């Protein structure tokens, strides 16, 4: 297992070194496709979105298990992807989210073969696009459309989620709100409305909205921009807004409040426009579903106390459609979505063993229903 850990971590670094922001995942996907081919996996292919598929054959009379990990990262292609190795961790932008998750797909193949495990059904490995930012889960939407109902379950791998079991999908709404004015010269047209000033005023109003603590509901202005010059009154400005809630009705209520503020902000000489740029549907597994018991058991056997959580991941798509799906992790870490992101080395052994046990036993659990 020590050799496996080293191989998985070395591969994670190789994957992390290939820039892959949303809509620019081709090069990373091509690299993973070549790895699948080198392993002699069946039916290796890349679809029009650059999702990468490969099949490890198992028993022919059972539905397949789909195991996925997202290729993309939040970091633009011009971010320096330096990696630092320390005694207990590896640091680098995107190393845990989700280069390590993608590397674990290959790690599963190596581990199954090393342990001479023959699966009861086919194992489909998928490195998918579009999980981060405004990718809007487009990769996983295509994956689920491809397999439809003809799957046993979906296992989504996240690099830094070891110890957590996510079977509840957090609903998300994302808006791009734009303000438009006539603009002008900062001196001669002083007093005319500025789109930057107006969008800033709207942000202040948004942050004053009361958000319930239960169900937990959040609002975040993630990006802002606008204007052409320091000495010009801005004719256009915009924000990108992320809304989330554990409760679909609470999310819908918050969305309506936001839309009301946007509508109120319109007045002569100032026009606002709100456009939906992302939607992540909610869903969840029943509390007594066999996937949950299996995931718990796999963690307990590794000496880890399972922690159930809710989140926004690729699992949102199958869960929202009533399909069995769960998210498990490979290791622990921190600094997610920052350039100081890191993963711990030692827990990778435990994480890979957990994934191996889950994949090896999932068909048996469903048969016992």
- What digits encode the pLDDT tens for the residues 325-355? 999 999 999 999 999 999 999 999 999 999 9
Strand, helix or coil for residue 126: strand
Q: Is 318 found in the same domain as 190? A: no
Q: Is 41 found in the same domain as 134? A: yes
How far, rounded to the nearest angstrom, does the alpha carbon of residue 40 sit from its chain's CA centroid? 28
Residue range 165-218, pLDDT digits in tens: 999 999 999 999 999 999 999 999 999 999 999 999 999 999 999 999 999 999
Q: Is 322 found in the same domain as 253? A: no
pLDDT at residue number 368: 64
Q: Report yes or no: 22 and 49 within 8 Å, Cβ to Cβ.
A: no
CA distance 262 to 256: 10
Name the region of 257 (left: φ>0; alpha: ψ -120 to 50; beta: rest).
Answer: alpha
- Please choose, from the candidates 67, 48, 191, 198, the residue with its C-alpha nearest in 3D space to the C-alpha of residue 127: 67
CA distance 169 to 357: 24
Among the three residues 256, 280, 304, which one is the final residue of a domain in this structure? Answer: 280
Q: Is 293 found in the same domain as 268? A: no
pLDDT at residue number 60: 77
Q: Could you say which residues of the chain have pLDDT below 70?
A: 1-2, 368-369
pLDDT at residue number 76: 95
Give the torsion sign (CA, 24, 28, 32, 37). Answer: positive
Q: Is 181 found in the same domain as 159? A: no
Among the three residues 239, 254, 280, which one is the final residue of a domain in this structure? Answer: 280
In the chain, the number of structural domains is 2
- Please choose, from the candidates 246, 201, 9, the residue with its C-alpha nearest in 3D space to the C-alpha of residue 107: 9
Q: Is 44 found in the same domain as 66? A: yes
CA distance 236 to 228: 9
Q: Is 225 found in the same domain as 215? A: yes
pTM: 0.92
Identify the H or E element spanning 253. Answer: helix 248-265
Strand, helix or coil for residue 119: coil
CA–CA–CA angle 304, 307, 310 (5° rounding): 150
CA distance 150 to 153: 9
Among the three residues 257, 280, 303, which one is the final residue of a domain in this structure? Answer: 280
pLDDT at residue number 62: 85
pLDDT at residue number 160: 97
Q: Is 286 found in the same domain as 252? A: no
DSSP 118: P
Alpha helix positions (H), 25-181: 26-38, 100-114, 138-147
- Residue 269's domain spans which residues? 177-280
């Amino acid at each position: 297992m020590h050799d496996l850990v080293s191989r998985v971590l070395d591969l994670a670094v190789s994957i992390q070194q290939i820039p892959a922001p949303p809509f620019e995942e081709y090069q990373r996907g091509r690299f993973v496709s070549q790895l699948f081919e080198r392993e002699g996996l069946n039916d290796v292919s890349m679809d029009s979105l650059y999702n990468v598929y490969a099949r490890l054959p198992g028993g022919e009379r059972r539905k397949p298990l789909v195991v996925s990990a997202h290729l993309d990262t939040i970091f633009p292609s011009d971010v320096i992807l330096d990696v630092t190795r320390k005694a207990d961790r590896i640091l680098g932008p995107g190393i845990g989210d989700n280069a390590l998750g993608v590397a674990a797909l290959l790690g599963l193949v190596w581990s199954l073969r090393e342990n001479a495990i023959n699966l009861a059904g086919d194992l489909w490995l998928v490195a998918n696009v579009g999980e981060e930012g405004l990718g809007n889960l487009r990769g996983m939407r295509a994956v689920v459309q491809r397999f439809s109902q003809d799957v046993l379950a979906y296992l989504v791998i996240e690099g830094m989620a070891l110890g957590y079991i996510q079977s509840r999908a957090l609903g998300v709404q994302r808006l791009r709100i734009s303000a438009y004015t006539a603009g002008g010269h900062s001196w001669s047209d002083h007093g005319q409305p500025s789109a930057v000033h107006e969008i800033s005023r709207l942000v202040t109003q948004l942050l004053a909205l009361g958000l319930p603590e239960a169900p937990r509901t959040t609002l975040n202005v993630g990006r802002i921009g606008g204007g052409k010059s320091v000495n010009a009154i801005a004719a256009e400005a915009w924000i990108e807004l992320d809304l989330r809630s554990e409760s679909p009705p609470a999310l819908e209520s918050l969305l309506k409040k936001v839309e009301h503020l946007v509508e109120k902000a319109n007045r002569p000489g100032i026009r606002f426009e709100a456009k939906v740029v992302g939607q992540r549907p909610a869903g969840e597994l029943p509390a007594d579903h066999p996937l949950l018991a299996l995931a718990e058991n796999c963690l307990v056997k590794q000496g880890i106390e399972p922690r159930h959580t809710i989140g926004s991941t690729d699992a949102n798509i199958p869960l929202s459609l009533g399909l069995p799906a769960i998210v498990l992790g490979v290791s622990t870490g921190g600094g997610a979505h920052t350039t100081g992101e890191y993963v711990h080395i030692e827990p990778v052994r435990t994480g890979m063993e957990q994934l191996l046990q889950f994949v090896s036993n999932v068909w048996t659990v469903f048969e016992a229903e």
